[in-house]
Structure 1
Amino acid sequence: MPGGSGEKTEKATPKKRRDERKKGNVMMSQDVVAVATLFASYAALRFGLSLMVDAMTGFFRYCIGLVGSVSTDGASAIATELSSKSIMALAQSVAIPLIATVLAAVIATFAQTKLLVSFESLKPQFSRMNPLQGIKRLFSLKSIIESLKGVLKITILLVLIYRFVSGSLLVFSRYMSSDIGVALASMRDLGFKLILEVGVAFLVLSFFDYLYQWWEFERQLKMSKQEIKEEYKQTEGDPKIKGKIKEAQRKMAQSRMMQAVPGADVVIRNPTHFAVALRYKPGQDAAPVVVAKGQDELALRIVAVAEENGVSVIENRPLARALYASVEIGHLIPADQYGPVAEILVYVYKLNKRSFPQ
């Protein structure tokens, strides 16, 4: 039913996000990575093409220089040298674009995943072998979006290539009567222009793809209210059980507090609402100590225990309320209440025919 506990309408909790991240499930747009590598390749070719051409030119000159100078006796040595030089020329030609594209891909990936390295996604998932699950993924919203993206990319690419070719036909016809160096330089510039146009178009697409991937990721992470409750139970414990534990702890604390009432010197009460039991032992206590306090029913119990054990009970409404509000059990009374409490203790000691300790 709409709005039911099984419907995933709530944002993912921080714990859910952490768990999914450990599994390698993070938001990432592959289009962003592809565009980053495309621009990195463009920059590498734009600024490193001359070095690549020089490397290949030097190798071809070396090969041409070998023509007619190879003897049967030195063929083996020359073949070895030719192999090493060809490998060196190839490495010099592809090193710059290769390094640039790899770095771009790594940076674009880690920038989106926040330096995540997870091997969970490499583990075999037998659920993916289920034909029903495969059909479901095939006709899912994500698959449809990915298909539309692919069609859009191909369409844009074909349109740009068509515009490039149709706009360059006149230029291509002039190459027949142009110097080969000038023709190659012109073709290089036109090629770079096409790559740049494709890169800008795909950059715009990658921006929207990033937004879509973020939306899809957040949608997949959403939780139902029941899942949030279950997670809370796992992390914080069942609220009912925690409530029972707190109730048991409260009763134990009250029991210990009631055991301290018989050892008090006086209980100050506000007839039925508040009761505070005080103890004062010279040499042990720097000031009177609150050993028990309570409100309403607990206050009546403190008074009853005090009367059963011969502890004096004095009624002083403002002092009882002030002590209850400002002093915790086991703490000394504040200095501004020394005077009123001392007067009560003197009265109690006289009543019990005891001398007030100095």
Structure 2
Amino acid sequence: MPGGAGEKTEKATPKRRRDERKKGNVMFSQDVVAVATLFASYIALRFGIPIMVSALDEFIQYCFQVIGNVPNQGLNEVGSELASHMIGTVAKASALPLLATVLAAVVATFAQTKLLVSFEALRPKFNRLNPLEGIKRLFSLKSIVEVFKNVLKITILLILIYRFVSGSLLQFSQYMDSDIGVSLASMRDLGFQLLVEVGIAFVVISFFDYLYQRWQFERDLRMTKEEIKEEYKQTEGDPKVKGKIKELQRKMAQSRMMQAVPGADVVIRNPTHFAVALRYRPGKDVAPVVVAKGQDEIALRIVAVAEEHHVAVVENKPLARALYAGAEIGGIIPPDQYGPVAEVLVYIYKLNHKTL
């Protein structure tokens, strides 16, 4: 049945996203990184070719110079010098493109993962050794999309190369009669033109791949209703347990309240709906204090405890309602009730032959 308890139809919660991020599971498109490195390489080559040509020219001149000294130095010594110089030349010529490519890959990766560094993905996962799981991954939607994407990239690349070669054959044939410097400059420009066309095509592919990876990532993070309920229980506590705790706390508070009723001076009731127990100790209390209050069943229990311990019970409907609504347990009565309460206490004290 669609939308059933076992189907992942709900969006991932913030906690689920945080947990997956800790595991290194974030939205990531490899094609975005590939395009970033491609254009970084293009820019590096565009500005770095003079450096490469200079390094190569210097190396060639050095080679002719060393070859001329072979009779004097010996073949082994010359070979060692050439190898050392060649390594330096390669390092100098490739430093800028290599640095630009690495920097672009790092920036593109961290931009997508939001500076995430996680070693969870490096841990061995033995479930990947399961042939059945491998077959499932092989025929999964993600694998099919990856195959389609790779075929599309290869097809586009072949088409662009074919167009480039077929459109440049005439120009290539003219290089035989041209200056070598001019020919190399022309070939360089044609190569950069092809690189730009390939880059633009791959940008379009990477854009759609980014959208797909984002959709796939959100789809994989979806949760079932049961998973959300279980997560809520783990973070907020089981509602049933919390309800029982609140009920227990309420009963304990009522028990403490009932224990304070015997120490009250008077209980004002209405006559069954509300009951408020008051205590006043001259010199200790600045005003009468509410030691207990309740409604309906609790009001009847307060009255019963008061009568059992010979605490005076006075029926005053408006005063009982006002005290119940305006005073908290353990707090003094509202100032506007000082007069009516004082009258009740004076009456009670007269009956008990006490004085305020």
The TM-score bracket by the shorter chain reads: over 0.9
**Compared CA separation, residues 132 and 312, structure 1 to 2 (3 A):** same
Q: How do residues 174-253 of structure 1 correspond to structure 2 at under 5 angstroms?
A: 174-253=174-253
**Compared CA separation, residues 235 and 64, structure 1 to 2 (3 A):** same
**Alignment partner, residue 35 of structure 1:** 35
Which shows bigger deviation, 17-26 or 270-279?
270-279
Are the counterparts in 1 of residues 67 and 78 from structure 2 also a CA contact under 8 Å?
A: no
Q: Which amino acid aligns with 1:235?
A: T
Q: How do residues 1-358 of structure 1 correspond to structure 2 at under 5 angstroms?
A: 1-73=1-73, 78-356=78-356
Q: Which amino acid aligns with 2:96?
A: I
Q: CA RMSD in A?
A: 1.9
How far apart, CA to CA, are the structure 1 residues paired with 2:335 and 2:85?
A: 94
Query: Percent sequence identity over matched residues?
Result: 75
How far apart, CA to CA, are the structure 1 residues paired with 2:346 and 2:77?
A: 117
User: Can you list the C-alpha shifts for 1:117-171, whole angstroms capped at 9, x where unaligned?
Assistant: 1111111111111111111111111111111111111121122222222222232
How far apart, CA to CA, are the structure 2 residues paired with 1:343 and 1:84?
A: 110
Which shows bigger deviation, 129-138 or 328-337?
328-337
TM-score (norm 1): 0.93
How far apart, CA to CA, are the structure 1 residues paired with 2:311 and 2:13?
A: 55
Q: Which amino acid aligns with 1:239?
A: P
**SS of residue in 1 equivalent to 2:71:** coil
How far apart, CA to CA, are the structure 2 residues paired with 1:89 and 1:333?
A: 93
Q: Which amino acid aligns with 1:32?
A: V
**SS of residue in 2 equivalent to 1:8:** coil
How far apart, CA to CA, are the structure 2 residues paired with 1:326 and 1:178?
A: 103
How far apart, CA to CA, are the structure 1 residues paired with 2:348 and 2:170?
A: 117
How far apart, CA to CA, are the structure 2 residues paired with 1:32 and 1:94?
A: 23
How far apart, CA to CA, are the structure 2 residues paired with 1:337 and 1:185?
A: 101
**SS of residue in 2 equivalent to 1:9:** coil
How far apart, CA to CA, are the structure 1 residues paired with 2:285 and 2:204?
A: 77
Count of residues in correspondence between the two structures: 356
How far apart, CA to CA, are the structure 2 residues paired with 1:221 and 1:86?
A: 52
Are the counterparts in 1 of residues 52 and 92 from structure 2 also a CA contact under 8 Å?
A: yes
User: Can you list the C-alpha shifts for 1:222-254, whole angstroms capped at 9, x where unaligned?
Assistant: 111111122222222222122112111111111
How far apart, CA to CA, are the structure 1 residues paired with 2:323 and 2:295?
A: 12
**Could you tell me how far 1:75 is from its partner in structure 2?**
5.4
**Could you tell me how far 1:77 is from its partner in structure 2?**
5.2
